[in-house]
Structure 1
Amino acid sequence: MRPLLFLILFIHTALADFWDDRNTLLSNEASQLFGSFWELTENEQKVNDILMKFKLQEYDEGLSNPSKFLPSIHFFHSKAAIEQSEVFKFIQKVPKGASLHSHSTAMLSTEALLNLTYMEGLYGCDDNTKFKLHFFFGGVNDDCDWRLLEDLRNEDSGFDDFLRSKMTLVVDDPAGTCCDINEVWSAFEDIFEFVAPLFDYRQFLHDYLYQVLREFHDDNVKYLEIRGVFGETFDSNNTIYGPLDTAQLYKETQQEFAIDSQDFAGHRVIYSNSRKVSIDTMDSYISDYLELRAAYPEIVVGFDLVGQEDLGEPLSVFADQLATIANRTKFFFHAGETNWYGTTDLNLIDAILLNTSRIGHAFAITKHPEVLRVVKERNIAIELNPISNQVLKLVDDLRNHVGAYLIANGYPVVITCDGPSFWGAKGLSYDWYMAFMGMTPREGDLRILKELAWNSYVYTALDKEGLPFILNLLQGWWDDFIKEILEAYH
């Protein structure tokens, strides 16, 4: 009996040790999870119960039928179903605080952008099978057979469908074998080139900016940091306005919107020009930036370089030039938006050496343990762009996105939207949904959403002296949201 008793006791002890150790490991992991330090109030817990009912139902249905789990499906095919998701509808109501990474000419929803093409004076031209747009007042250029869009629409009932196809990357078979990452990026940059002439007309730019602020505000986003440049514009009298005048237009449009929406916290612009340039051109960028920053410090808040990293110049090429202004500006570099290892991803090294305040995308960051260490030590926020990374072919299934690792390990992250106009999204909620459902654990709850909201202000380019004030505003919006959800679902 004694050997048998000993064996029973040994097995019992071993099993107890297994379950104790398992619970300890799970507890340790949970304590590292992004947002885990938040203590929910009684009312927040009630709201969390509502959220988790929706999440667990959707998540567990995905476990039973993986082909239906929306973050694993390309956004072009999942968008309609996302809009029916109770989790998505919940996230739309969340005060998301700030949107910190989106490109100025790719922010407005596709349909709203299409509607703006009904403005007077807009012409189109098919130039060697390349369709172009331009505003003309008082006569057109003779370089092409320019036709009023109004006439083109009257002649062809399908013209708007054609125009819409020129303004988005949306296709029927996005996950097919039609194209590699370079081809998708080429199409992406073609859209920027196609819509660019619209923003030369001052009235269009004003109306566009105002509607961008409205769409994001309607999505419970109260502050924006926009990547963009300030070019020349003209009005209907063909008067030319310089870059400083364009910056003034941004400022005036913000002031106008703030009168109509008094809970709006404003917007700022991170000067962002192409990374595929020469040393001399970079000198001109820096000169333009410093002039704009000096004239409009309340609008122009930082510097970045944009464009496909794989085919652009690495940050190291411009390191000496950028270092000359490092003590006079904040950097918000795109870096690591790549699947390569040991080439393009080295921009991550350069970005932190140049003391970047945030990193855009950082998709390759897990390949660089020293960068991960510095990011945590310096509290450098990572701007995650889930849908953009999927559409631009860095990842197919968002459960495999690098954001899952960063969230599991409590790294400072914000969820951003990059260029929602070009893939048929609107505002920030779609990306928050993809991150919450695809990159957080099954039990990841309201605390994650709350941390995302707070991070969106903690990591802005705004002066930190004003941070307590804006976080106090966010607390008020959050309290109103909790009350709204309780009233709506009880």
Structure 2
Amino acid sequence: MPEFSPASSLTTRYPSSPLYCSCFGDSSNCPTSRASSMGSKFSSFRLRVRGRKRLTMFSPKSKTPKHLADGHTRQRGASRKGDASESDGDFDKAAALELIKAHDSEVDRRRSGVETSRLGAENGSLGLPLDLDATGAEKRVPVPSKEEYDELRKHVFAVEQELSFDARCRSRASDLEMDVDAIIRKIREKDDREIYASQPKRRGYQGQMHERFAGDHFLSNVDIINKTDLFEIASKMPKGAHLHIHFNACLPPNVLLGIATGMDRMFVSSTLPLIHKAGDEDEYENFDKCEIQFSIMNQKRLDKKIGNLFSADYIRGHMMKFSDFRRQFPSHYTRAAVDEWLLHKLMFEERETHHPFQTASGAWEKFNGRTRMMKGLFNYETAYREYTKLCLADFVRDNIQYAEIRPNFMQTNQLYTDDGEGMINNEGIMKIIISAVEEFQKEVAEKGQFFGGLKVIYCTPRSMDQENVKKALKECIEFKKRWPQWIAGFDLVGEEAKGHPIKEFVPELLEFKRQCAAQNLDIPFLFHCGETLDMGTDTDGNLVDALLLGSKRIGHGFALAKHPYVMQQMKAKGICLELCPISNEILGLTPRVGGHAMYQLLANNVHCTVSSDNGALFRSSLSHDFYQVMVGKADMGLFGWKQLAMWSIDHACLNEEEREIMRYEWNQQWNEFLKWVKTTYGDLIKDVAKI
């Protein structure tokens, strides 16, 4: 493996520029070229990109695309008195023409020799000019007839379709795929007509009545979604690789609650005493506000920490045996059974997610409390082993062919033995996962089924300090050397706005890349970043650092559409986004899936995959996310799903032999899926040929 270079991470398959030379090359005029530390070069370059101070980028010898040079000239021109508006408009038009030419060239390339229609004006633009004077005397052009206008309009739509992210899949489609695509479009209409339209309207502000529709708030629709034919089809569809799933939130919470019920050493604590305030306006306020945590405890750890959660004298954090808690609960809370109440504490609900006062920060506060609650249900040996097996079975049930899971690894990780006496370290956690997967693979093979297995993305919290992140990076290398086929990459996880930005760990991350190169280890970065609405902060600045550090994939990347230069660089590098649409909606980035940034990103042909993130907390599965992706865009069909699934295999951390096996198996299952759809729903379209 070659020595890592931030310069090479930007310039591969992209025109060279004095910007890169001035920061990383041999330019004698560049101060950073004389710096002794690669870290200082990296920081200097990062500031240049963030500050957009690209003066050297536009020299006469620069190979920078003209539309970028125009943008720079626009900045200079705007400083001249009297001509700012005029020059801005001219430069914007010139930049638009360059992009039009680029799109036309792309269409020509895709058509592979088919003659391009000559429907535009001489300068490449379509339609009437916008800069005619009042009489049109100096720039008179013929006004098109209605027929000519319709032809121009048809041409624009045709070009947009040819540039769409799913165009290749559509152009290469088999007859069977064309039929299934038509069926799916009919299914969408049928679901809207028979399922959503039949639901009672909901009463809103001042009595306004609201119809139900696909693409509304996920948490308000989830029970309806589960009844639709489109969701059944989404469930059956082979999804390829699931690349963004946090391992402690893969399965419905009732699975872990069921295991915990049978554990003798399981204890529970609360942040508030669970007391009934008779006569108060909200008599069960503490039950609503409290945060519950679970833990396996031995007697030594319990000393002086025993308490009764239902006592007014209860001290925060003191433990009560879970079996006792379950037995006493009905006497103190009458609105729901104990399991129903616990599930309510673990999963998001529509009213809290979409309350008028709710914010992304507030949603994260609730999310973090729920992950702490899940941690205690997950952090002992029996639960971890059983959960891993059930998770693998659920992947197969949801028609996932391969997965890359994200467990958290820390020096203070707490995975207990069932009696609470012993501790299992990170190495032990890896052994549990590997053992469970190998056992499951044998069982699947014996049944004649296929599951391509999983790999582990080594994750550590971004809230850690530099020293602990350094230790985590060291352990990641050790794990990769010990289990080379199991470690997929490295990530920093946790709330992006509250944790440290990536830039604070640049020295440690660069050193990690050097060590990997020296030892011929391939451990790509797979960073969470751009999971934010912020602009101009360190939070959305993580996208720049992920780019410069050569991240193979980006977790979420919601903010990327707001950074066109970074987006084009990521496209040039082949960096893929791990979309998590339901997660982004529930955590406050968009109120409904139709407003998700993914449609802008896909329109720009940014490679993306679909993932569920923390499905256990969101009442969702990967099938639900694929469903949401489709209903959020009126013209999305089979080919959008297909491209997203294919990209998931293309961008998975697989060697070429593994990837070819995955592609072959996915294609086999894809063809079976198509036949199933046509057999089951073929009567929805006319003249469907028999299989």
Q: Is the 8 A contact 2:579 2:609 kept in 1?
A: yes
After superposition, residues 74-85 of structure 1 pair within 5 angstroms as: 74-85=217-228
Within the candidate set 294, 305, 313, 2:492 is matched to 305
Letter in 2 for 1:314: P
The 2-side partners of 1:173 and 1:314 are apart by: 28
In the alignment, does 2:180 pair up with 1:47?
Answer: yes
| Number of the residue aligned with 1:357 | 552
Within the candidate set 212, 231, 242, 1:68 is matched to 212
In the alignment, does 2:366 pair up with 1:233?
Answer: no
Secondary structure (helix, strand or coil) at the match of 2:527 reads strand
Report how far residue 154 of structure 1 moved.
Answer: 2.7
| Number of the residue aligned with 1:7 | none
Report how far residue 23 of structure 1 moved.
Answer: 1.1
Q: Is the 8 A contact 1:227 1:271 kept in 2?
A: yes
| Number of the residue aligned with 2:667 | 475
* Cα offsets for 1:383-418 (capped at 9, x unmatched): 111110110001102111111112223221101111
Letter in 1 for 2:627: Y
* Cα offsets for 1:57-77 (capped at 9, x unmatched): 4568989x9842232x22221
Larger Rg, first or second structure (1 or 2) = 2
Secondary structure (helix, strand or coil) at the match of 1:304 reads strand
| Number of the residue aligned with 1:380 | 575
Secondary structure (helix, strand or coil) at the match of 1:37 reads helix
* Cα offsets for 1:403-442 (capped at 9, x unmatched): 11122232211011110111112x301111111110x3x3
Letter in 1 for 2:224: A
| Number of the residue aligned with 2:631 | 437
After superposition, residues 346-425 of structure 1 pair within 5 angstroms as: 346-425=541-620
TM-score normalised to structure 1 length: 0.91
The 2-side partners of 1:172 and 1:338 are apart by: 22
Letter in 2 for 1:50: I
| Number of the residue aligned with 1:213 | 392
In the alignment, does 2:219 pair up with 1:24?
Answer: no
Report how far residue 308 of structure 1 moved.
Answer: 1.4
| Number of the residue aligned with 2:259 | 116
Letter in 2 for 1:290: I
Is there any run of 5+ residues in structure 1 with no aligned partner, and where?
1-9
Report how far residue 338 of structure 1 moved.
Answer: 0.6
Q: Is the 8 A contact 1:127 1:144 kept in 2?
A: no
- Count of aligned residue pairs for this structure pair: 476
Q: Which moved more, 1:175-184 or 1:408-417?
A: 175-184
Within the candidate set 419, 423, 434, 1:251 is matched to 434
TM-score normalised to structure 2 length: 0.66
| Number of the residue aligned with 1:144 | 306
Evaluate the alpha carbon distance shift between residue 214 and residue 193 of structure 1 in structure 2; reply closer, same or farther with a 3 A threshold: same
Secondary structure (helix, strand or coil) at the match of 1:271 reads strand
Secondary structure (helix, strand or coil) at the match of 1:454 reads helix
Q: Among the aligned pairs, what percent are the same residue?
A: 26
Within the candidate set 132, 135, 142, 2:293 is matched to 132
Report how far residue 256 of structure 1 moved.
Answer: 1.6
Evaluate the alpha carbon distance shift between residue 300 and residue 232 of structure 1 in structure 2; reply closer, same or farther with a 3 A threshold: farther
Write 1 or 2 for the structure with the bigger share of strand: 1
| Number of the residue aligned with 1:451 | 643
Secondary structure (helix, strand or coil) at the match of 2:500 reads coil
Within the candidate set 656, 677, 683, 1:464 is matched to 656
**Alpha carbon RMSD of aligned pairs, Å?**
2.3
Q: Is the 8 A contact 1:121 1:137 kept in 2?
A: no
Secondary structure (helix, strand or coil) at the match of 2:167 reads coil
* Cα offsets for 1:135-167 (capped at 9, x unmatched): 246776122334432332233342212321232
Within the candidate set 521, 533, 544, 1:339 is matched to 533
Evaluate the alpha carbon distance shift between residue 149 and residue 171 of structure 1 in structure 2; reply closer, same or farther with a 3 A threshold: farther
The 2-side partners of 1:312 and 1:240 are apart by: 27
Secondary structure (helix, strand or coil) at the match of 1:124 reads strand
| Number of the residue aligned with 1:169 | 348
The 2-side partners of 1:127 and 1:52 are apart by: 49
